[in-house]
């Protein structure tokens, strides 16, 4: 019996090993729709357009990771940067990060930012969330809503995407800050988490860890490595994220209240030097990803496509690849990921996406420019 168990275990490990090797050798196929659309340049003058959001039909707000906030109006980048941006730690992966508008923006004018800020206790910095209004090319009425604890002098894995759900709650991500054995599994630390607050920064009573002395009340889910994609599913209202794995193991997740997504206890990735992080890819009480990539694509940006301007992509999800410089079409059957293919090979390191009120998709790339996706005619 013992010999049989050991043989079965060996066969299982061999099968898993073969599956991993096969996965590592797989390439993302070219989408059949790739030739139907092209990228039309809007501007090259925002070096790292980390976040983008449309304020109205004519104004696109863009964060440059270096720390400046820019406005594209009527298709042209305004020369003057917006004033009043908070001080950011613009080093390595830190800087001025994501941007989003209030669901009632047309009535209240609130704009939300994530950035690597110096607020909070201790040396160093962490991910901060601020809201402000824009008036005459200057941020006014600034309110700090959140600052991550604890500060650290690390310059990696800030996250940070932000997204509202249908109930008006604001979700945002903080990466593990490059300290995987310190933060992601600790509920008294903010890094390695998805957080949820109200639009004014207060904490919803329904957050899963409210009232616990050993937990930060804004935490909604934990065990994350570095989520740089976040979007609300247009039908279900669920918050979806994707996050960077180490070497392999980039994930797409649907966020559930109080759930543990496993990092670094379980992962489909390995260390950058090829050594093992953990033998486990699954464990009771920890969420499995909806999809994962081996090798890593280095995902950034995430957008559900609802516009009938892109019928081949309607009802599916787009994810940017920093590593391979293309867009990944993540094919969905409702809320189930059923496949993937690639678009816009060689476009550049895809950093951000935003959908115009008329349904046009805009894509921001590192160094190569901001583009509008248009059909080939």
Q: Which residues are catalytic?
A: 157
Q: Are strands 126-135 and 138-147 parallel, antiparallel or unpaired?
A: antiparallel
Helix (H) or strand (E) holding 21: helix 2-25
- Tell me the C-alpha distance between 122 and 6, whole Å: 51
Q: Is 85 helix (H, G, I), strand (E, B) or coil?
A: coil
**Cα dihedral 259, 188, 126, 227 in deg (nearest 10):** -10
Rounded to 5°, angle at Cα 227 from 42 and 298: 65
Neighbour count for residue 153 (Cβ, 10 Å) = 11
137: closest CA among 201, 195, 216, 84?
84
HSE-CB for 322 with a 13 A CA cutoff: 18
Q: How far is CA 147 from CA 72, 174, 216, in A?
A: 29, 10, 12
Q: Is 320 helix (H, G, I), strand (E, B) or coil?
A: strand
Q: Is 298 left (phi over 0), alpha (psi -120 to 50) or beta?
A: left
- Tell me the C-alpha distance between 250 and 375, whole Å: 30
Q: How far is CA 54 from CA 7, 230, 317, 333, in A?
A: 59, 16, 19, 28
> Residue 246 in contact with residue 272, Cβ under 8 Å?
yes
> Residue 301 in contact with residue 353, Cβ under 8 Å?
yes
226: closest CA among 127, 133, 349?
127
- Tell me the C-alpha distance between 95 and 88, whole Å: 5
């Amino acid at each position: 019996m013992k010999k049989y168990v050991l043989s079965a275990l060996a066969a299982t490990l061999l099968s898993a090993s073969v599956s991993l090797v096969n996965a590592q050798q797989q390439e993302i196929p070219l989408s059949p729709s790739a030739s139907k659309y092209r990228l039309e340049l809007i501007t090259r003058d925002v070096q790292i357009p980390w976040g983008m959001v449309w304020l109205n039909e004519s104004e696109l707000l863009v964060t440059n990771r270096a720390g400046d906030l820019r406005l594209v109006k009527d298709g042209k980048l305004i020369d003057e940067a917006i004033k009043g941006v908070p001080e950011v730690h613009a080093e390595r992966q830190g800087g001025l990060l994501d941007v989003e508008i209030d669901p009632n923006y047309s009535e209240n004018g609130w704009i939300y930012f994530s950035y690597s800020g110096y607020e909070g206790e201790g040396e160093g910095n962490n991910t901060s969330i601020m809201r402000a209004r824009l008036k005459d090319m200057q941020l006014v009425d600034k309110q700090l809503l959140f600052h991550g604890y604890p500060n650290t002098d690390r310059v990696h894995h800030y996250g940070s995407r932000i997204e509202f759900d249908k109930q008006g709650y604001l979700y945002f991500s903080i990466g593990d800050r490059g300290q995987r054995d310190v933060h992601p599994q600790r509920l008294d630390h903010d890094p390695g988490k998805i957080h949820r607050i109200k639009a004014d920064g207060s904490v919803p009573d329904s957050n899963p860890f409210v009232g616990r002395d050993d937990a930060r009340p804004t935490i909604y889910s934990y065990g994350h490595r570095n989520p740089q994609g976040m979007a609300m599913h247009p039908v279900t209202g669920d918050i979806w994220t994707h996050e960077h794995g180490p070497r392999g193991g980039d994930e797409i997740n649907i966020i559930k209240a109080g759930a543990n997504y496993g990092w670094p206890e379980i992962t489909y990735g390995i260390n950058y030097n090829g050594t093992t992080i953990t033998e486990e890819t699954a464990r009771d009480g920890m969420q499995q990803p909806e999809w994962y990539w081996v090798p890593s694509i280095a995902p950034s940006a995430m957008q559900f496509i609802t516009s009938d301007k892109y019928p081949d992509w309607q009802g599916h999800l787009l994810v940017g690849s920093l590593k391979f410089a293309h867009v990944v079409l993540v094919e969905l059957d409702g809320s189930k990921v059923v496949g993937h293919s690639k678009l816009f090979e060689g476009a550049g390191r895809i950093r951000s996406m935003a959908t115009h009120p008329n349904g046009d998709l805009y894509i921001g790339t590192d160094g190569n420019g901001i583009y509008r996706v248009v059909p080939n005619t």
